Amino acid sequence: MVRHPDTPVTGRATMLRRLARWCLAPLPAPPVALRRGPLRPGVFRSRLRSTRLTGQLGVALGLMFGICFVTGLLSHLIQHPPGWFWWPARPVGLYRFTQGLHVATGLASIPLLGAKLWSVYPRLFSWPPVRSIAHAAERAGTGVLVAAALFLLVSGVLNVSRWYPAMPFFFTAGHYWVAWLAVGGLLVHIGVQLPAVRAALARPTDEPRQDGLNRRALLGGVAAASGLITLTTVGQTIRPLSGLAVLAPRHPGTGPQGLPVNRTADGAAVRAAALDPAYRLWVVGPGRRVGLDLAALYGLPQYTAELPIACVEGWSATGTWTGVRLRDLVALVGVDPRRSSALVESLQTGGRYRACTVPPEHLRDPLTLVALRLGGEPLHLDHGYPARLIAPNRPGVLQTKWISRITVPGTR
Amino acid sequence: MRTRTGLVVGGCLLMAYAVVGALTDADLAPAGVLLFLAAVLVGHDVVWMAAVLTVGAALTRVPPRCRPAVRTAAITAAAVTVVGLPLALGFGRSADNASVLPLPYGRNLVAVLLVVAGTTLLACVVPVRRREAAADRKESERPAEGRP
């Protein structure tokens, strides 16, 4: 049976077809008299702009944003783990790598985003501004993507330079949700521009030689800018390059006991409590609790571990920590440390990071310490004196300082 | 076409997830996020791009042989300044924490910009010198050309 091509299709298909027709129907053009200023034809004359340049910058930027999104999402999941999420204790420096990569990639994306937006800037003034409902939606989507991409890079730069008052929102939450917005916008953009992306990746056939040379020179300039940013900042996490890190917000060797500090004892308002001679570290199990003063803590078997502090802001530095294994402390209250988690609380009375949960894989790891010493000396007050948590492969914000209490809910 | 539709639909779903997530996150003031989104968009498209286009127009006056090097320098200087200026302004410094922003960033930023300028100058001058030297060599070789 041959169906007549004009046979009306009923139901959902018809509705979809009607909707598509309505979305693509041409809208009346605005009066030509409104075509002034940058809307006039031929205003943007640079011969450097080309579809191929835009496509190539877009592919590079998409890769960079992809890396940023995956590493950033990972950091978020480690800090706010849903039930299905699992993060290992080894390799020791994995988080150091992923978060260092996150910040380095974000910083290196700045010239790429700048060049990409420059290359498409004339399209902002295309005429007519809106050809159809679908065109309007596409333009609005591009606007959201551009705003979100700028938001992420600008807020990221402000965060690493700790210029928080310039951001009228809580950075971590804003950066996280806008990242989802940017990735969604990016997928829509790739979907719309896929033919142009494919053409950008294909070899050119009709590009004049001089245009090709100019395009490559511009791409080289953008790469040089990204390279210079990386060279002058990445030493904040790659120690051998720290001498070149003249624009790094942190220097791995600068800080009390040769290690940077994120939150000081005075900033956390714990000075008096931390220096109180009556200090006790309480380990609380399901059926027993133990209070340990400093002498008792030093009386327990001491272990030393070389572990990094890896900050969410992208810097990291390795310290030599000495103290009691967390699993030994948990065993004191009769809990099997191989299958238990622990809530580690600080002397801080408030604040977002006053407590953290140590999952079983970190708790049972022999490198996870309640550190009492750094580099052989008692911990500096700003590093968490009298006792702090230090565990492998964890963000710095989860290495709770000035520990007052370890609660073990029992074997899981 | 199916791939493109999938990307567009998937992207729209992720954007909707972002909006719902932001609106239901107790830690987030959506008005502040919206304000910042608008500010960076307008700041870039109006202020920043006006400056970039002005510099770009000025670059057309640079001799063509130097133009790629100067353009690279301009891109690099702009990008490094975006990263370095908030550090140099130092609003993030903390009175009780010397490990935050510990370096003299203003001086360092100027030094990096001077290195960029110096490298650009070399990139412009050295090829000219080489060309002149090559021309000189040709001149000096010319009398020998007629010799047996």
Tracing tokens 């060797």 back to the chain, one arrives at A253
Q: Look at residue A13 in the predicted model and tell me its pLDDT.
A: 86
Tracing tokens 């502040």 back to the chain, one arrives at B32
B8/A178 CB distance under 8 A: no
Q: Is A256 inside any structural domain?
A: no
Q: Report the amino acid identity of residue A304.
A: T
Q: Is the pLDDT of residue A401 over 50?
A: yes
How many domains does the structure of chain A reveal? Answer: 2
Q: Is A58 inside any structural domain?
A: yes
* Spatial distance between the Cα atoms of B84 and B81, rounded to a whole number of angstroms: 5
Q: Look at residue A205 in the predicted model and tell me its pLDDT.
A: 65
Q: Is the pLDDT of residue B56 over 50?
A: yes
Cross-chain CB nearest to A194 (options B3, B75, B112): B3
Q: Is A251 inside any structural domain?
A: no
Cross-chain CB nearest to A170 (options B27, B45, B101): B27
* Spatial distance between the Cα atoms of A245 and A43, rounded to a whole number of angstroms: 41
CB-based contact A262:A249 (threshold 8 Å):
no
CA distance A184 to chain B (A): 4
What ipTM was assigned to the predicted interfaces of this complex?
0.92
Cross-chain CB nearest to A111 (options B18, B79, B84): B79
A234/A331 same-domain check: no
Q: Look at residue B100 in the predicted model and tell me its pLDDT.
A: 96
pLDDT tier at A16 (50, 70, 90 boundaries)?
confident
CB-based contact A182:A152 (threshold 8 Å):
yes
Q: Look at residue A79 in the predicted model and tell me its pLDDT.
A: 96
pLDDT tens-digit profile of A102-143? 999 999 999 999 999 999 999 999 999 999 999 999 999 999
- CATH code for the domain of A371: 3.90.420.10
A218/A98 same-domain check: yes
pLDDT tens-digit profile of A254-304? 999 999 999 999 999 999 999 999 999 999 999 899 999 999 999 999 999
The alpha carbon dihedral of A343, A347, A349, A350 has a sign of negative
Cross-chain CB nearest to A185 (options B11, B38, B86): B11
List the single residue in A with minimal CA-CA distance to B5: A191
Residues of B in contact with A247 (CB under 8 A): 80, 83-84, 87, 103, 105, 108-109, 112
Residues of A129-140 as b/e, b for ≥16 C-beta within 10 angstroms? bbbeeebebbbe
A142/A23 same-domain check: yes
Q: pLDDT > 70: what percent of chain A?
A: 96
* Spatial distance between the Cα atoms of A199 and A63, rounded to a whole number of angstroms: 17
User: What's the rounded mean pLDDT across residues B41-47?
Assistant: 97
Q: Look at residue A410 in the predicted model and tell me its pLDDT.
A: 65
Range of the domain at A394: 271-407
B80/A225 CB distance under 8 A: yes
Kindly report the three-state secondary structure assignment for every residue of B64-78. Answer: CCCHHHHHHHHHHHH
**One-character DSSP codes across A58-114:** HHHHHHHHHHHHHHHHHHHHHHS--TT----S-STTHHHHHHHHHHHHHHHHHHHHH
Q: Is the pLDDT of residue B147 over 50?
A: no
B83/A110 CB distance under 8 A: yes
Bridge partners (DSSP) listed for residue A318: A308
Cross-chain CB nearest to A114 (options B32, B45, B79): B79
Q: Look at residue A8 in the predicted model and tell me its pLDDT.
A: 52
Q: Is the pLDDT of residue B125 over 90?
A: no
A220/A307 same-domain check: no
**One-character DSSP codes across A275-292:** H-TT--EEEE-SS-EEEE
Q: Is the pLDDT of residue A2 over 70?
A: no
When scoring A110, A155, A171, A180 by the number of chain B Cβ atoms within 10 A, the one with the most, hence best to mutate, is A180
CA distance A36 to chain B (A): 16
Q: Look at residue A10 in the predicted model and tell me its pLDDT.
A: 62
Largest CA distance in chain B: 92
Residues of A in contact with B27 (CB under 8 A): 170, 172-173
Query: Would you tell me how many other CB atoms lie within 10 Å of the CB of residue B109?
Result: 21
A228/A347 same-domain check: no
- CATH code for the domain of A176: 1.20.950
Q: Look at residue B2 in the predicted model and tell me its pLDDT.
A: 87
Number of H helices, E strands in chain B: 5, 0
B29/A168 CB distance under 8 A: yes
Q: Is the pLDDT of residue A4 over 90?
A: no
A131/A228 same-domain check: yes
Contacts for A51 with CB less than 8 Å, ≥ 6 apart: A196, A199, A200
At A14, is the secondary structure helix, strand, or coil? helix
Q: Is A254 inside any structural domain?
A: no
A-to-B residue pairs, Cβ atoms closer than 8 angstroms: 236
When scoring A23, A120, A242, A246 by the number of chain B Cβ atoms within 10 A, the one with the most, hence best to mutate, is A246
B20 part of contact set with chain A, CB < 8 Å = no
**pTM, entire model:** 0.93
CB-based contact A250:A313 (threshold 8 Å):
yes
A393/A307 same-domain check: yes
Kindly report the three-state secondary structure assignment for every residue of A231-264. Answer: HHHHHHCCHHHHHHCCCCCCCCCCCHHHCCCCCC
pLDDT tier at A155 (50, 70, 90 boundaries)?
very high
Q: Look at residue B79 in the predicted model and tell me its pLDDT.
A: 97
Residues of A in contact with B116 (CB under 8 A): 228
pLDDT tens-digit profile of A161-209? 999 999 999 999 999 999 999 999 999 999 999 987 887 778 766 778 8
pLDDT tens-digit profile of B72-98? 999 999 999 999 999 999 999 999 999
User: What's the rounded mean pLDDT across residues A388-408?
Assistant: 97
Q: Is A278 inside any structural domain?
A: yes
List the single residue in B with minimal CA-CA distance to A257: B99
Residues of A in contact with B101 (CB under 8 A): 161-162, 249-250
Residues of A205-227 as b/e, b for ≥16 C-beta within 10 angstroms? eeeeeebeebbeebbebbbbbbe
A284/A401 same-domain check: yes
User: What's the rounded mean pLDDT across residues A336-362?
Assistant: 94
Phi, psi of A372, deg, nearest 5: -115, -20
Residues in chain A: 412
Q: Is A255 inside any structural domain?
A: no
Q: Look at residue A63 in the predicted model and tell me its pLDDT.
A: 96
CA distance A312 to chain B (A): 14
Mean pLDDT of chain B: 90
Q: Is the pLDDT of residue B139 over 50?
A: yes
Q: Look at residue B142 in the predicted model and tell me its pLDDT.
A: 55
Query: Would you tell me how many other CB atoms lie within 10 Å of the CB of residue A291?
Result: 12
pLDDT tier at B146 (50, 70, 90 boundaries)?
very low
User: What's the rounded mean pLDDT across residues A57-73?
Assistant: 97
Cross-chain CB nearest to B27 (options A161, A173, A228): A173
- With residue A139 as reference, give the H or E element that holds it: helix A133-160
Q: Look at residue B145 in the predicted model and tell me its pLDDT.
A: 45
Residues of B3-39 as b/e, b for ≥16 C-beta within 10 angstroms? eeeebbebbbebbeebbeebeebeebeeeebeebbeb
A197/A73 same-domain check: yes
CA distance B12 to chain A (A): 6
Cross-chain CB nearest to A170 (options B14, B28, B103): B28
Q: pLDDT > 90: what percent of chain A?
A: 83
Q: Is A261 inside any structural domain?
A: no
A150/B40 CB distance under 8 A: yes
Which pair of structure tokens corresponds to residue A402?
């000035």
Mean pLDDT of chain A: 93
Q: pLDDT > 70: what percent of chain B?
A: 86
B127 part of contact set with chain A, CB < 8 Å = no
List the single residue in B with minimal CA-CA distance to A163: B92
CB-based contact A404:A345 (threshold 8 Å):
yes
A349/A202 same-domain check: no
A191/A301 same-domain check: no
* Spatial distance between the Cα atoms of B140 and B7, rounded to a whole number of angstroms: 66
Q: Is A57 inside any structural domain?
A: yes
Q: Look at residue B37 in the predicted model and tell me its pLDDT.
A: 98
How distant is the alpha carbon of residue B43 from its chain centre?
A: 16
CA distance B65 to chain A (A): 12
A178/B37 CB distance under 8 A: yes
- With residue B108 as reference, give the H or E element that holds it: helix B105-145
A276/A172 same-domain check: no
When scoring A228, A242, A381, A401 by the number of chain B Cβ atoms within 10 A, the one with the most, hence best to mutate, is A228
Q: Between B148 and A245, where is the model more confident? A: A245
A174/B83 CB distance under 8 A: no
Q: Which long-range contacts (CB under 8 A, 24 or more apart) does A298-302 make?
A: A298/A372, A300/A324, A300/A328, A300/A329, A301/A325, A301/A328, A302/A372
